[in-house]
Amino acid sequence: MRQAVSVRAALADAARQLQSVSDTPRLDAELLMAHALGTSRDRLLLGRLDDPAPEAFAALVARRLTHEPIAYITGTRAFWTIDLAVGPGVLIPRPDSETLLEAALAWFGTRAPTRILDLGTGPGTLLLAALAEWPDAQGLGIDASETALDYARRNAEALGMANRTQFRLGDWTKDIEGKFDLILANPPYIGTDEPLPPQVLNHEPAEALFAGSDGLDDYRRIVPALPALLAPGGAAVLEIGWTQGDAVSLLGQEHGLSSSVYKDMGGRPRVVRLT
C-alpha cells in the first residue's frame, strides 16, 4: 500500500509547479489546499500540515496551471472587512480597490454617509464593504451584468445586508434619481491594446476591463452626471489606472468638481475623489 502524501509535501510540490503561472506560488498552493480541506489558511498552517493531502487538491492545482484565477477556483475572495462569493462572469476584487474605502473614510471622518451609490457594482464589492463600514447607511448597486447582480444579491444576503441594499440592471448613471452622499465606481479603465496577464485576459469579463483606446471612455460618461447625483457635502470616489489621475481629475474640474488623487499600497495613483 502506497503511503499517503502529507499536506506539507503536497504544498511544496504544488508551489514548484505553480512557479510557471504565478508570482505567489506558495500562497496559491496554500489557498487551494485550505479549500480542498474545507478549512482556513491559518488553520491549515497551524495544525494540518502533517495530515494526508486530500485527493481533490491535485485537480485544483491543475486548474490553476491553466491560469484560472484562485478566486474562481475557491469561489470566494476577501475584500476590506468582508468575504465575497465570486465566479466566472464577475470582476475579482483587488486589494488596490480598498484605496476607494480609505479615500471615502478620509473624506467623511466622523460623519457618515446615509445613501451610497455603487456604479458597476460587480459582486457588490465596494457597496457591501462601505455598508459594513457605515452600518446605518443604505445602498444602491448598478451593473450591466445580470450575472454580477446575482452574485451581489447573494453576497448581500450572506452578509446580512439584503434589507439595506438594492441592486439594479443599468447603464452607469442612466435613469438614476435622487442624491447620494457617497458615489463609488470601479469602471473599466484598460486601453484596448494594453497587455494583460492570461489569468485576467482569458478568464475575467472583458466588459469589466476595457474602455476604449485610452481606457477613459466610461469616465467620460460617468463624470458629467456626478454633480446632479451628489448630495451637499458628498463625494464621488473613482478607481483609475495609475496613469489616469490627471485626465480624470481634469474631467471632473471641467464639470465643476474639485479633485484629489490617492495612491494605493504600491504608491501608484489609484483613486480620484471628486467633490
| CATH number of the domain to which 176 belongs | 3.40.50.150
- Residue 166, in any domain of the structure: yes
For the chain, give the mean pLDDT.
Answer: 96
Which amino acid would we find at residue 219?
Y
The reply to whether 16 falls in a domain is yes
Per the listing, cell 493531502 goes with 53
Q: In percent, how much of the chain has pLDDT > 90?
A: 94
Q: Provide the domain count of the chain.
A: 2
- Is 207 a domain residue? yes
Angle at 120 between CA 114 and CA 124, to 5 degrees: 60
pLDDT of amino acid 193: 82
- The model's confidence at residue 1, banded by pLDDT at 50, 70 and 90, is very low
pTM (2 d.p.)? 0.94
Asked if residue 60 is part of any domain, the answer here is yes
Beta partners for 236?
183, 274
Full domain range(s) for residue 241: 89-274
Q: Are residues 104 and 58 in the same domain?
A: no
Is residue 192 located within the same domain as residue 119? yes
Would residue 56 count as lying in a domain?
Answer: yes
Which cell goes with 227? 454633480
At 9 the three-state DSSP class reads helix
74 domain-assigned = no
| 101 shares its domain with 214 | yes
Contact 64, 28 (CB under 8 A): yes
**Residue 84 in domain:** no
| Mean pLDDT within 13-28 | 97
Beta-carbon contacts of 245 under 8 Å, excluding residues fewer than 6 positions away, are: 261, 269, 272
Q: Are residues 93 and 151 in the same domain?
A: yes
Any residues with CB less than 8 A from the CB of 109 and at least 6 apart, and which?
none
3-state secondary structure of 180: strand
- Block residue for cell numbers 443599468: 170
pLDDT in tens, 3-19: 689 999 999 999 999 99
Q: Which residue has the cell 452626471?
A: 225
